[in-house]
Amino acid sequence: MLALVMGCQSKQQGPSPTQQRLAEWYARKSAQDMIETCKQWDAANRAMFQSQLEEHLATGAVAAGLAQPEPQAPEIVEPTVTAPSNINGLSKEEIAVINDPIFFDTDSAEVIYEQKSKVSRKAAILLGHPDIKMQLLGSASEIGQSQYNLELAYKRAIEVQTLLVVVNQVPNNQVSIFTVGEMRANIGNLPRDRAVRTYIR
C-alpha cells in the first residue's frame, strides 16, 4: 500500500529531468525557427516595399515633370530612302536644300539659331510638295559611349522634327525619324558628325 501511494506521488511530481530537457530543447528550436521565419519575412517585405517605393517615386517624378520617361523606340523597320537627286518635281536648288545637313554644337540636341533657317527652307519644300515625305537621320561624333551617342542623335532628329511640324506647320505625316533601333542596326554606315540629315522617302 505504501509503495502504491509513493508511486502515485511520483507520478504527480511532474516530468522527469530528461523530459524537461527535451521540452526546453523543442522550445528553443521553435523559437529559433520563428526568429528565422520572421527574418525571412522581414527581408521579403523590405524588398517589396523598396520596389514599390522606387516605383512610386519614379511615377511621381514623371507626373510632376521632374523626370522624363525613357523614350520607347518604335518597332524596328528597315529604313528605305531615295536619293533626293532622283525625285521628280524638285529643282536643283531644292535638292541642294534637302541635302544640306543641320549641324549641332557638341553634346547638344538644340538647333542653334544659325541652323534654323535651314529647317525653314526644308519646311517650305515640304509644304510646296505635299506628296513628298521626309525622313530624318540624326548623328553624333565618335567621342563618348556608343549608346549615349545613339540617344543624342535620336534627340537631335526629334528636335528638327518638332521645328518642322510644330513651328513650320508641316503635316505630321510628311516627316518621320530613323529610330534608335534602325540606327543601331546600321551603325557601321552612320555619319560621324554632329548633324541631322534629311532624306526623301
Edge-to-edge strand list for the sheet holding 102-103: 102-103, 195-200, 134-138, 175-177
Q: Which residue has the cell 521645328?
A: 163
**Predicted local distance difference test score (pLDDT) of residue 173:** 95
Segment 113-137, tens digit of pLDDT: 999 999 999 999 999 999 999 999 9
pLDDT given at position 115: 95
pLDDT reading at 107 higher than 80: yes
CATH code of the domain covering residue 191: 3.30.1330.60
Ramachandran category for residue 140: left, alpha or beta (phi over 0 → left; psi -120 to 50 → alpha): beta
111 within a domain of the structure (yes/no): yes
Q: Which residue has the higher pLDDT, 120 or 183?
A: 120
In angstroms, the CA 146 to CA 123 distance is 31
Residue 92, in any domain of the structure: yes
Question: Are residues 92 and 183 both part of a single domain?
Answer: yes
Average pLDDT of the chain? 74
Does residue 158 lie in a domain region? Answer: yes
Distance CA 138, CA 183 (A): 9
Question: Which residues neighbour 127 within 8 Å (Cβ) at sequence distance 6 or greater?
Answer: 168, 169, 170
Under the phi-then-psi rule, with left for phi > 0, alpha for psi from -120 to 50, and beta for the rest, what region is 197? beta
| Class of residue 103 by CB neighbours under 10 A (exposed 0-12, middle 13-18, buried 19+) | middle
Q: Rounded to an integer, what distance in angstroms lies between the CA atom of residue 155 and that of residue 109? A: 6
Three cell numbers written together for 37: 521565419
Mean pLDDT throughout 80-102?
76
Asked if residue 160 and residue 89 are part of one domain, the reply reads yes
Say if residue 112 is in the same domain as residue 192.
yes
The residue segments making up the domain with residue 126 are: 84-200
pTM: 0.56
Q: Where are the alpha helices (DSSP H) in the chain?
A: 2-12, 17-63, 92-99, 113-128, 146-162, 180-185
The answer to whether 177 and 199 are in contact (CB under 8 A) is: no
Render 115-166 in DSSP notation, one character per residue: HHHHHHHHHHHHHH-TT--EEEEE---SSS-HHHHHHHHHHHHHHHHHIIII
The confidence score (pLDDT) of residue 166 equals 95
Residues 99 and 171 in one domain: yes
Q: Other C-beta atoms within 10 Å of 97: how many?
A: 18
Evaluate whether residue 25 is within a structural domain: yes
Count of domains for the chain: 2
pLDDT tens per residue, range 25-61: 556 655 566 556 556 655 655 565 556 555 644 554 4
